[in-house]
Homo-oligomer: A and B are copies of this chain.
Amino acid sequence: MRAVVMHAPRDVRVEDVADATLQKPTDAVIRLAATCICGSDLWPYRGTDEVSEPLHMGHEYAGTVEEVGAEVRDIKVGDFVIGSFFASDNTCEICRAGYQTSCIHREVLGTSGGAQAERMRVPLADGTLVATPGQPDADLLPSLLAASDVLGTGWFGAVAAEAGPGKTVAVVGDGAVGLCAVLAAKQLGAERIIISSRHADRQALAREFGATDVLEERGEDFIAAVGGLTDGLGAHCAVEAVGTHESMHQAIGATRAGGHVGFVGVLHDVAITGDDIFMTHVHLHGGPAPVRRFLPELIQLVWDRTIDPGKVFDLTLPLDQAAEGYRAMNERRATKVLLTI
């Protein structure tokens, strides 16, 4: 089967690899309908994360179940399914508390073949996959695929930030996750949603998703501008959707005492000191989004056409042109690239 393999930073190839197969009785194998390139795929692409061996890329997926292991009970061959980037049993105490990405049996997707491929193995199929109510219309595919990661991640960021009615929410990061956090905050009932963005197309999508204020300021200027919009108090909530030291401090700084910061950007070189969190009185919560917690609700919202997170995909390419997709995202020519199979 065809699959995307990263051999070194900036060296992405589409190659023939061994076909995905069932390895455990709790596995399923799915045929991808579509996959995509994640902002976090750019960390190794840019050399920030080491590429010590060829990486089978991709962890976002939607597709049709072709095989199930002997112990799979709920997921059936022929189901159209979406899953999260970590496999989870969805039955352990940690999963039941809503933290499936810390499941005691979790497995990172992609360890034996990533999602940027024609087929993929999904471990712990019953705990990981959620089937759609039926076979989806083609136009729903981008939004269903978005639920696999960027929507679920932005949603978790907004939930971790306790976005809700009457709240002012600041979103740091205008990538696909930040934009989905805007959408999530809106759905959760936030009164005011402020995002920092300097890209006209992202600004427009942010407003379409529910942003009430689009600021061009960054860093301390952003913090001051949010203060100016909130009687000097700061936002009730902030979602950090980048993962750098600067963005984390921007999110903390924009939040009022007693407020909540939800962080979902994969943290790189971040150092938080006592001064950052002691006198600021913020709540900090985040990490790899437990997308599985939210998938049933998110799939239904997409299915009912209440939300359209698939709009974050602004470039669609066939799988064989994945290398161009990586280049486009790296050069910020695209926010989020969908790969058709």
Contact = CB atoms under 8 A, between A and B. Distances in A.
Contacts of A98: 258
Given A98-B258, A99-B281, A267-B277, 13 more contacts: A97-B257, A102-B258, A102-B281, A266-B278, A270-B274, A271-B272, A272-B272, A272-B273, A277-B287, A278-B287, A279-B288, A281-B287, A283-B284
- Sorted nearest first, the 4 A-B pairs with minimum C-beta distance are A267-B274, A102-B257, A99-B258, A272-B272
A280 interface: yes
A94 interface: yes
A90 to B, nearest CB: 14
Interface in A68-118: 93-94, 97-99, 101-102, 104
A280 B287 contact: yes
A278 B286 CA distance: 6
Copies in the complex: 2
A232 B243 CA distance: 29
A89 to B, nearest CB: 14
Contacts of A97: 257-258
A268 interface: yes
A270 B272 CA distance: 8
B281 A101 contact: yes
Interface in A229-282: 231-233, 243, 256-258, 263, 266-275, 277-282
Interface of A: 93-94, 97-99, 101-102, 104, 231-233, 243, 256-258, 263, 266-275, 277-288
Given A102-B257, A257-B99, A277 B271 contact: no
Given A283-B283, A284-B283, A287-B279, A93 B274 contact: no
A206 to B, nearest CB: 25
B270 A273 contact: yes
Nearest to A106: B257
A257 B233 CA distance: 31
A101 B288 CA distance: 32
Nearest to A268: B274
B285 A284 contact: yes
A262 B91 CA distance: 27
Contacts of A287: 277-281
22 contacts: A93-B231, A97-B258, A102-B257, A102-B258, A104-B232, A104-B233, A263-B277, A266-B274, A268-B274, A270-B273, A272-B272, A272-B277, A277-B286, A277-B287, A278-B286, A278-B287, A278-B288, A280-B287, A281-B287, A281-B288, A283-B284, A284-B285
Nearest to A283: B285
Contacts of A278: 263, 266-267, 286-288
A280 to B, nearest CB: 7
A243 B275 CA distance: 12
B233 A93 contact: yes
Contacts of A288: 278-279, 281
Contacts of A258: 94, 97-99, 102
The winner among A93, A257, A282 for most chain B CB atoms within 10 A is: A257
Given A94-B257, A102-B257, A258-B94, A274 B281 contact: no
